Amino acid sequence: MKVGDLGISIKLDDDDDWDTPKYQLKGITKGYVTEEMFNAFKKGSKLSKKQLFEADKYALYMTFKKTLDMFMPLTKQTLN
């Protein structure tokens, strides 16, 4: 099982090669994907396991970044 864009899941085949494009995205959240992944979704391109896991890492990074960006002004106010 792989979490897609931290919400939509895709059942992965354990026997598949990591670099073989086989999987198609069911949906995305634009603010949490790269431009490359957004374009692949729009085109309906098939993606490899490696690409899917890279997309999850990016989505997780963006989740933390947006959370930190939201709380940083509060932290600065508290320190002053």
pLDDT in tens, 28-66: 888 999 999 999 999 999 999 999 999 989 998 998 898
What pLDDT band is residue 79 in, cutting at 50, 70 and 90?
low
Asked if the structure places residue 18 within a domain, the reply is: yes
Whether residue 23 is contained in a domain is answered as: yes
38 part of a folded domain: yes
**Residue numbers of the domain that contains 27:** 2-59
Q: How far apart are CA 66 and CA 11, in angstroms?
A: 28
Exposed / middle / buried, residue 37 (Cβ in 10 Å: 0-12, 13-18, 19+)? buried
Res. 3 pLDDT band, cuts 50 70 90 = very low
Q: Residue 77: inside a domain, yes or no?
A: no
18-36 confidence digits (pLDDT tens):
999 999 988 888 899 999 9
Count of the separate structural domains present in the chain: 1
Query: Residue 15: inside a domain, yes or no?
Result: yes
pLDDT value at residue 16: 85
Q: For residue 17, is it within any domain?
A: yes
Q: pTM for this one?
A: 0.76
